[in-house]
């Protein structure tokens, strides 16, 4: 079968969706359940119906478009919410590619043996109450407290944000009860890194999604006069932090190359020109594709911080904010995708995703696979997020082939 997607139509749909949530401060701001999202959802519903699919939303606001009858469907999609001042491709490329594939299959007929279903998951970006609200609701992995007590990016609890939308914390918490069984899940997404672009490869086939440990840490020393306190008598919390950031990064680079460490947010107190920093609060983001390495990395960096605190006469505090385990995607689907890449003569690369995706949640329910396409300079979550349309065409053609294989 030599069916191909229509890149012109796919591009028009991505550009159409990008009209919703344009932010005067730059890029696209389209959190789930915002006015922009409500308008985008109405637009998406029209596109789903236009493609000949049946439209429905579950209690978490996840949107579905089904092609074919009863039975276990192959699910395919991503998310249409964005971070604040995000770009037009993160998530949107996957949902629109799924729509293009299903529309194409419907046009070409006859339908494959198994049904196909498009999905756009709610709040993948975590603007509301933590990452993956929609897919976690779908999988039944939410706890009541986070849904009822969490403060959203709108500065109000989720229950208030949902008022008048037809959804509520209760419908979100019970969304998984209406979930049918699925055959498999596929997701196309921009890479959010620069590997594919650097290697000049149009498609990545994701084997694993890295796990992470997020910690909130502090070094606490003494705020003293910068003009009068001799260097050897200082308890400088900033120097401890700088020392830690460099040594911990060296540790990862030399002993656990391929894993990631980022000290991304640092607050120095009192933060005055001539005062020795008495306290520094900072975030620590550790990621690895291996659960053992991640554990080791966490232990070693905590020990290193304790050591540095001791040497520099400051105290070290740390607490875990979030922790996810690495997830292996389906090796059968990786194999199918590699075969189809060979048939299509597309160079491909097996990859680990350092960023989180709905696929890691859905992989707990059914076999999951992911396709990455390059994004320019590895930029995502920013107004200048950009792709090459030829890469998207290849990624979407691969998605189409993989769907047809999985749906028999």
Give whichever of 169 and 374 is closer to Zn ion, judged by the CB atom: 374
Nearer to Zn ion, 130 or 313 (CB): 130
Window 255 to 314, contacts with Zn ion (CB under 5 A): none
With CB under 5 A as the contact rule, which of the stretches 24-32, 88-96, 151-159, 383-391 interacts with Zn ion? 88-96
Residue 333 half-sphere exposure, CB side, CA atoms within 13 Å?
29
Residue 7 contacts residue 97 (beta carbons within 8 Å): no
Q: Identify which of residues 87 and 211 has a Cβ nearer to Zn ion in the complex.
A: 87
Which position among 31, 86, 91, 356 is part of the footprint of Zn ion (CB under 5 A)? Answer: 91
Number of residues that bind Zn ion (CB under 5 A): 2
- Residue span binding Zn ion (CB under 5 A) among the ranges 30-38, 90-98, 300-308, 310-318: 90-98
CB closer to Zn ion out of 125 and 340: 125
Question: Contact region for Zn ion (CB under 5 A) — 82-90, 155-163, 205-213, 365-373?
Answer: 82-90
Cα–Cα distance measured from residue 287 to residue 298, given in angstroms and rounded to the nearest whole number: 10
Q: Which helix (H) or strand (E) holds 22?
A: none
Measured at the CA of 48, the angle between CA 44 and CA 52, to 5 degrees, comes to 165
Instruction: Considering the complex, state which of residue 90 and residue 117 has its C-beta at the smaller distance from Zn ion.
Output: 90
Stretch that binds Zn ion, among 84-92, 235-243, 270-278, 371-379 (CB under 5 A): 84-92
**CA-wise closest residue to 65 among 75, 108, 136, 357:** 75
Nearer to Zn ion, 90 or 385 (CB): 90
Q: Does 90 help bind Zn ion (rule: CB under 5 A)?
A: yes
Q: Between 64 and 372, name the residue whose CB sits nearer to Zn ion.
A: 372
- Measure the CA–CA gap between 297 and 302, rounded to whole angstroms: 8
- Alpha carbon distance 215, 217 (integer Å): 6
SS3 81: coil
Shortest distance (Å) from residue 200 CB to Zn ion: 23
* Shortest spacing between CB 370 and Zn ion, in angstroms: 11
Give the nearest distance from C-beta 71 to Zn ion in angstroms.
29
Comparing CA positions, the residue from 356, 328, 319 lying closest to residue 133 is 356
Work out the end-to-end distance of the chain between its first and last CA atoms, rounded to an integer number of angstroms.
Answer: 12
Handedness of CA 368, 373, 376, 382 (dihedral sign): negative
Closest residue by beta carbon to Zn ion: 91
Q: Which stretch binds Zn ion (CB under 5 A): 63-71, 89-97, 141-149, 272-280?
A: 89-97
Q: Cβ of residue 83: shortest distance to Zn ion, in angstroms?
A: 9
Distances (CA, A) of 319 to 4, 214, 282, 284, 373: 50, 9, 11, 10, 36
Cα(102)–Cα(250) distance, rounded to whole angstroms?
47
Which residues contact Zn ion (rule: CB under 5 A)?
90-91
């Amino acid at each position: 079968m030599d069916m191909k997607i229509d890149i012109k139509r796919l591009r028009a749909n991505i550009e159409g969706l990008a009209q919703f949530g344009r932010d005067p401060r730059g890029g696209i701001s389209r959190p789930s359940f915002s006015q922009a999202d409500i308008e985008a959802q109405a637009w998406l519903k029209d596109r789903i119906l236009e493609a000949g699919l049946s439209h429905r939303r579950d209690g978490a606001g996840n949107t579905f478009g089904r092609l074919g009858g009863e039975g276990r469907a192959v699910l395919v999609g991503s998310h249409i919410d964005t971070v604040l001042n995000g770009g037009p491709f993160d998530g949107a490329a996957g949902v629109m590619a799924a729509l293009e594939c299903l529309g194409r299959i419907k046009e070409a007929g006859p339908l494959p043996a198994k049904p196909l279903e498009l999905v756009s998951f709610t709040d993948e970006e975590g603007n509301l109450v933590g990452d993956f609200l929609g897919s976690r609701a779908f999988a039944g992995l939410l706890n009541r407290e986070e849904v009822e007590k969490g403060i959203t990016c709108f500065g109000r609890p989720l229950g208030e944000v949902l008022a008048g939308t037809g959804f509520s914390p209760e419908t979100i918490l019970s969304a998984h009860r209406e979930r049918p069984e699925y055959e498999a899940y596929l997701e196309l997404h921009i890479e959010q890194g620069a590997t594919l672009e650097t290697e000049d490869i149009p498609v990545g086939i994701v084997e694993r999604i890295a796990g992470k440990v997020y910690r909130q840490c502090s070094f606490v020393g003494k705020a003293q006069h910068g003009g009068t306190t001799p260097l050897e008598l200082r308890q400088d919390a900033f120097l401890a932090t700088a020392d830690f950031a460099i040594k911990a990064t060296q540790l990862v680079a030399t002993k656990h190359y391929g894993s990631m460490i980022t000290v991304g947010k640092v607050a120095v107190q009192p933060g005055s020109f001539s005062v020795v920093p008495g306290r520094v609060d900072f975030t620590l983001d550790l990621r690895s594709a291996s659960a053992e390495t991640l554990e080791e990395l966490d232990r070693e960096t905590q020990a290193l911080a304790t050591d540095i605190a001791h040497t520099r006469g400051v105290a070290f505090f740390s607490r875990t904010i979030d922790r996810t385990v690495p997830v292996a995607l389906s090796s059968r689907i990786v194999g199918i995708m590699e075969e189809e890449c060979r048939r299509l003569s597309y160079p491909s690369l097996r990859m680990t995703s350092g960023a989180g995706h709905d696929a890691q949640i859905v992989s707990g329910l059914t076999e999951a696979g992911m396709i990455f396409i390059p994004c320019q300079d590895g930029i995502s979550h920013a107004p200048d997020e950009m792709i090459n349309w030829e890469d998207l065409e290849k990624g979407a053609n691969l998605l189409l082939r993989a769907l047809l294989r999985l749906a028999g």
